[in-house]
C-alpha cells in the first residue's frame, strides 16, 4: 500500500462531504417514497449533517495511522489539519487484555523456566566429562544460570506478587500504545519483550549478584532471556485481544 499523495489527502474532505450528501439524498428518497410494509426501515435524513464530521474524523485517524505504518517520512506538522494525530479516546478490552496478559506472563515464565532447566540438564549430560562442573558451584556463571531458571520455574507460585507487577509494567508500556495511535503488532511485541526482560532479569540478577558478580551475570542473562520470550508472547496476546487497528478504524455505520 503506497502513502497518499498531498493532493489526494487534500481532496478527502471534499469526498467526505460528497459521501455525506449521497447518504442524505438516499435517506431523503427512502423517507418520502418507501411504501408501507416495506422491509427497508427509513431513517430520518435530518440526522445526516453529523455524518460529514464523523467521516472526516475517521479519515483523520486512518491517515495518521497510514503515515506511521508506511514510514513516508512526513511528520505531523507537514500533514493537513484534518490528518492530525489521533485524539485520545476510549478503547475496549484494554483491562481484559492486561489481566489475561499478566496471568499469561506469570504462567509463561514458569513454563519457559522449566523448559530451559531441562535443556540445561540435557546439555550437561551430553557434555559429560568435557563439562567444567566448577561453573555450577556457588559463585559460578552456570550456577547463576541454573539459579535463575529455578527462580523462574517457581514464578507461578508467587502469582500474588508477580501478576500485579506484570499488570503494572504492561499497563505502563503496551497498555498505553493504542492511545498514542500505535496500531502495528511489532511495537507491542517489542515493548512486552523489553519489560519482561527487565522484570525477570532484574529479579534473578539481583539474587545472583548477592552471591558474586559472575553468578549475577549468569542469572541476569538467563532471567532476561526468559522474561523477553514471555513478554513477547504477552505483547502478542494483548494485541490479539485489544485489536487496536480495528478499533481506530471503526466507523459508526448507523449514520448511513
Tell me what pLDDT residue 35 has. Answer: 76
User: How far from the centroid of its chain's Cα atoms is residue 121's Cα?
Assistant: 35
Which grid coordinates belong to 102? 499478566
Give yes or no for a contact between 205 and 222, defined as CB atoms under 8 angstroms apart.
Answer: no
Give yes or no for a contact between 108 and 233, defined as CB atoms under 8 angstroms apart.
Answer: yes
| pTM assigned to the model | 0.61
d(CA 111, CA 241): 22
pLDDT, one tens digit for every residue, the chain (256 residues): 788 888 888 888 888 888 878 877 887 787 777 777 777 777 777 665 554 455 555 555 555 555 555 454 444 444 334 333 444 467 888 999 999 999 999 999 999 999 998 888 888 777 764 555 555 666 778 888 888 898 898 888 888 888 888 899 888 889 888 888 788 888 999 999 999 999 999 999 998 888 889 888 988 999 999 999 999 999 999 999 988 877 776 544 444 4
Give yes or no for a contact between 144 and 218, defined as CB atoms under 8 angstroms apart.
Answer: yes
Torsion from C-alpha of 92, 98, 104, 110, nearest 10 degrees: 170
d(CA 30, CA 32): 6
Give how far Cα 67 sits from Cα of 26, 54, 88, 141, 202, Å. 33, 20, 18, 47, 36
- Which of 112, 164, 113, 120 has its CA nearest to residue 141? 120
Amino acid at each position: 500500500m503506497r502513502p497518499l499523495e498531498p493532493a489526494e489527502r487534500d481532496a478527502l474532505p471534499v469526498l467526505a462531504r460528497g459521501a455525506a450528501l449521497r447518504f442524505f439524498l438516499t435517506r431523503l428518497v427512502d423517507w418520502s417514497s418507501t411504501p408501507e410494509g416495506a422491509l427497508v426501515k427509513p431513517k430520518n435524513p435530518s440526522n445526516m449533517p453529523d455524518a460529514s464530521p464523523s467521516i472526516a474524523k475517521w479519515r483523520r485517524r486512518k491517515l495518521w495511522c497510514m503515515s506511521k505504518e508506511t514510514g513516508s517520512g512526513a511528520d505531523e506538522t507537514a500533514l493537513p489539519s484534518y490528518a492530525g494525530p489521533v485524539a485520545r479516546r476510549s478503547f475496549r478490552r484494554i483491562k481484559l487484555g492486561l489481566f489475561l496478559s499478566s496471568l499469561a506472563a506469570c504462567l509463561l515464565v514458569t513454563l519457559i523456566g522449566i523448559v530451559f532447566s531441562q535443556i540445561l540438564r540435557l546439555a550437561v549430560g551430553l557434555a559429560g566429562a568435557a563439562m567444567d562442573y566448577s561453573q555450577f558451584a556457588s559463585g559460578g556463571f552456570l550456577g547463576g544460570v541454573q539459579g535463575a531458571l529455578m527462580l523462574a520455574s517457581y514464578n507461578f507460585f508467587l502469582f500474588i506478587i508477580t501478576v500485579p507487577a506484570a499488570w503494572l509494567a504492561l499497563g505502563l508500556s503496551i497498555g498505553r500504545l493504542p492511545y498514542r495511535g500505535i496500531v502495528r503488532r511489532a511495537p507491542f511485541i517489542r515493548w512486552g519483550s523489553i519489560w519482561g526482560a527487565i522484570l525477570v532479569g532484574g529479579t534473578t540478577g539481583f539474587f545472583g549478584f548477592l552471591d558474586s558478580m559472575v553468578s549475577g551475570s549468569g542469572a541476569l542473562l538467563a532471567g532476561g532471556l526468559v522474561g523477553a520470550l514471555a513478554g513477547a508472547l504477552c505483547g502478542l496476546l494483548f494485541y490479539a485481544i485489544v485489536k487496536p487497528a480495528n478499533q481506530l478504524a471503526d466507523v459508526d455505520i448507523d449514520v448511513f
